[in-house]
């Protein structure tokens, strides 16, 4: 290995989006210990190194491998959700690039009176969601229902459909669509 253990730790920790403090917590060590290892001021014991690589979700052999396959992103802070809507309806998507992915997850917000439009939506796949806050009128084919918090929907999205907030308060929904539509 051409780089030091400290350099490698820093590279893998940063690639994982972890601060030294978060890395230390995961490994059951102090932030100072992680800092000293990364700055090559101390060499970790095999046991300490094992705790660190497990905290990264790797094995010892992965840690020393010349390249590590890029891991799929698993967690998405609220500030990183991608806004796809505009105006009265907000569609905040989990993940930026869904190319080749079978599922799209959205955090939706409908302002009072917001409506997806008189022309009903229709696309290949399935979609479902759960109302978290407010009320949502869902029309699928000839069926129409006003859903309250905790109520849910699931349907073949090739059936013409429409969403509308009939209430005076904002409506919030968490939904999924397969395959992605945006």
Q: Are 137 and 169 in the same domain?
A: yes
Tell me, what CATH number does 104's domain have?
2.60.120.10
| Side-chain-side CA neighbours of residue 177 (13 Å) | 21
Q: Are 162 and 82 in the same domain?
A: yes
* 3-state secondary structure at position 141: coil
The CA–CA distances, whole Å, from 68 to 2, 8, 40, 101, 178 equal 15, 11, 22, 22, 30
Residue 162: which of 177, 140, 178 has the closest Cα?
A: 140
Answer yes or no: is 73 within a domain: no
pTM: 0.64
Answer yes or no: is 102 within a domain: yes
Answer yes or no: is 149 within a domain: yes
Q: Are 172 and 82 in the same domain?
A: yes
Q: Are 86 and 165 in the same domain?
A: yes
Contact 93, 82 (CB under 8 A): yes
Q: Are 53 and 105 in the same domain?
A: no
Domain extent, residue 147, equals 78-178
Q: Which positions ≥6 away from 99 have C-beta within 8 Å?
A: none
Tell me, what CATH number does 53's domain have?
1.10.260.40
- Select from 64, 86, 104 the last residue of a domain: 64
- For each of the chain's 182 residues, which pLDDT tens digit applies? 467 899 999 988 888 888 899 899 989 999 999 999 999 999 999 999 999 988 888 888 888 887 766 667 788 889 889 999 988 999 999 988 888 889 999 999 999 999 999 899 999 999 999 999 999 999 999 999 999 999 999 999 999 999 999 999 999 999 999 999 87
Report how many domains make up the chain.
2
């Amino acid at each position: 290995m051409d780089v030091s253990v400290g350099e490698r730790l820093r590279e893998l920790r940063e690639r994982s989006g972890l601060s030294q403090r978060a890395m230390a917590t995961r490994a059951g060590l102090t932030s100072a210990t992680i800092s000293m290892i990364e700055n090559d001021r101390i060499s970790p014991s095999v046991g300490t190194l094992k705790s660190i690589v497990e905290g990264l979700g790797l094995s010892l052999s992965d840690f020393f491998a010349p390249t590590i396959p890029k891991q799929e992103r698993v967690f998405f802070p609220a500030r990183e959700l991608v806004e796809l809507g505009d105006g009265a309806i907000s569609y905040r998507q989990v993940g930026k690039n869904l190319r080749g992915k079978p599922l799209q997850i959205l955090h939706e917000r409908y302002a009072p009176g917001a409506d997806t439009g008189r022309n009903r939506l229709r696309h290949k796949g399935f979609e479902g969601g759960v109302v978290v806050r407010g009320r949502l009128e869902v029309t699928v084919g000839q069926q129409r229902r006003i859903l309250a918090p905790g109520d849910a929907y699931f349907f073949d999205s090739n059936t013409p459909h429409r969403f509308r907030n009939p209430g005076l308060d904002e409506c919030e929904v968490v939904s999924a669509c397969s395959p992605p539509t945006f």
